[in-house]
Amino acid sequence: MGRDPTTIRRFINKYKKTVSIENLPRSGRPPALNIIEKNALVNEVKRNRRAPLHEVVNTLQPKTAKTILYEAEICSRVAAKKKPFISERHAAARISWYEKYKEKSASYRNQVIFSDESSVEITTNKSLEMKFKSAPRKEWENLDCTHFEAVVASMPRRINAELEANGGPTKY
């Protein structure tokens, strides 16, 4: 049969004892909701997504409801704050940056990583090395560099557009 003799012997002994090879019910408390009730809860939350959880579930503990929703990949998040308009001080700082890098050569721009005015720190310690997981690393290695080269080549246009906008927002 291609199976371990011990496994076959255990199945035979189990059948002799219980007249079935089905698994016995697991120990512990049964789930609070069955599959249909879980789906109903998920659908109700999707319909009333702004309603507080304690209003959506009447007879269920909020922790149980949160667990079920988490399993359904539904979790509450705080909406991102809107980006503020550029202040005069910020616009002046941008203009000084543009003036500084306006005349730089293409070879210089190829050696520098430009970013927008945001600075995102992944960790609290800047000296820690960021480690990619294997899937993002593979995607990163498969990226086409022509897009990035086009962005770097467009830097003079971007700088001129920012200078014309006096440091204000542009289409870039």
Measured CA to CA, the distance from residue 49 to residue 76 in angstroms comes to: 9
Structure tokens at 56: 């959506």
pLDDT given for residue 128 in this prediction: 45
pLDDT given for residue 134 in this prediction: 56
Q: What is the 3-state secondary structure (H, E, C) of 12-71?
A: HHHHHHHCCCCCCCCCCCCCCCCHHHHHHHHHHHHHCCCCCHHHHCCCCCHHHHHHHHHH
Ordered mean pLDDT values, 10 residues apiece, the chain (172 residues): 87 90 85 91 86 82 88 75 74 84 78 60 48 61 80 83 82 72
pLDDT given for residue 131 in this prediction: 46
Structure tokens at 30: 């049964």
Q: From the centroid of its chain, how far is CA 82?
A: 19
CB 106 within 8 A of CB 149: no
* 136, burial (CB in 10 Å: exposed 0-12, middle 13-18, buried 19+): exposed
* Best CA proximity match to 153, nearest among 106, 114, 117: 106
